Amino acid sequence: MKTLKKLPILILTVASLAMAPFTHADNPRVSMVTDFGAIEIELLEQLAPQTVANFLELVDEAFYDGLVFHRVIANFMIQGGGYTPSLDYKPREKTVANESFNGVKNTLGTVAMARLSDPDSANAQFFINVRDNPHLDAAGNKAGYTVFGRVISGMEVVHEIEVVNTHLSRGMAAVPEEPVVIQKITRIE
């Protein structure tokens, strides 16, 4: 049993080593405080500059504060940044160009932009991968989902969110039965 409890840490360590070439001491970082605890995210500014600039603009505007993780799928990802606890959509018209050809893969602990079928339709919603999701990566001429950050602390919080009970609500699947609120996202200076 103790071996199983240590497994997520080992996996996170291996994932962190895989991301090592993409990290940089000067990369911006943010703290995301949720109902379940804090998650620290390093943003990959050199590899996804437009996406990171868009995300930080939203952080500075306090856009995410009070929104929820509205789509939670165990062994896949947790998605947030677009809905209030009552599942009212918070609009953001500005979109950001797809940067999924940056060489960064959708692996365990990475943070990527959600989007519609149009690769350049990402605006505010993001997701955290809770496993490697290679089917979300760019391949050939097909755009993927832009990875623009990685969890560097608080992956246990992500995993707690990952396993909450979900249901169908207001026509949306995989909605947590009890809202998982993003209380605040702030820059770490």
Which phi and psi angles does 153 have, rounded to 5°? Answer: -160, 140
Position 16 scores a pLDDT of: 44
CA distance 163 to 62: 27
And the tokens for 32? Answer: 């995301």
- The whole-angstrom distance between residue 40's C-alpha and the CA centroid of its chain comes to 11
Angstrom distance (rounded) from CA 170 to CA 45: 36
Global confidence as pTM = 0.88
State the pLDDT at residue 145: 98
Q: How many domains does the chain have?
A: 1
Per-residue pLDDT of 93-132, as tens digits, reads 999 999 999 999 999 999 999 999 999 999 999 999 999 9
C-beta of residue 98 within 8 angstroms of C-beta of residue 119:
yes
The CATH code of the domain that includes 168 is: 2.40.100.10
Report which of residues 41 and 8 the model is more confident about: 41
Query: pLDDT tens for residues 37-55?
Result: 999 999 999 999 999 999 9
Q: What integer pLDDT is reported at residue 21 of this predicted model?
A: 53
In the chain, DSSP finds a helix count (H) and a strand count (E) of 3, 10
Q: Residue 13 is part of which domain span?
A: 2-188
Is it the case that residue 8 has pLDDT exceeding 80?
no
